[in-house]
Structure 1
Amino acid sequence: MPNAASNPTAVREVMDIRQAADYLGISGDTLYRYASENFVPAFKLGNRWRFRKSLLDDWMDRQSGVTSAAPIEMVDPAKKKPVRAVR
């Protein structure tokens, strides 16, 4: 199984500030400020900020107004209406 060291572009579940900034497409300084102001979901491990990818994804969805899609409803083929042929 390849590890993250052999693939530096791999996105990890727990990221440091540089990795998370790259993932979000913002500068490390901006992300540091956001984390310090509790604007983004982050936690400190020792004196270093860490970011969980899943929490960042949820946060981005909330910030952008994206809601989870409604489940797809399956239709019984016997209840489908016939489609007219195109001439």
Structure 2
Amino acid sequence: MTERWLSVEEIATHLGVSKDTVYAWREKKGLPAHRIGRFWKFKANEVDEWVRSGSASESSEGDSR
């Protein structure tokens, strides 16, 4: 059985962050996402691997930390 596509709201809940954070991570940190029409969709296994790889914790120039 194939994994279903998750919406921005669902992946935000999965990660425990806001939708704005999901959009920011997609744009600035390379959160794996796929554009389907006008919507962004996510595969939980791709996002989980991205988190495990440490990409979520790498700071970028725009971070205030």
Length-normalised TM-score, structure 2: 0.70
- Which has more radius of gyration? 1
Identity %: 28
Structure 1: gaps (5+ residues): 1-11, 65-87
- What number of residue pairs does the alignment pair up? 53
Q: For residues 39 and 54 of structure 1, what CA distance do their matches in structure 2 show?
A: 15
Richer in helix (by share): 2
Structure 2: gaps (5+ residues): 56-65
Moved over 4 A (4+): none
Larger RCO, structures 1/2 (Cα 8 Å, 6+ apart): 2
Q: Deviations over 1:24-79 (max 9, x none)?
A: 11100110122233520001100111010110111111017xxxxxxxxxxxxxxx
Length-normalised TM-score, structure 1: 0.54
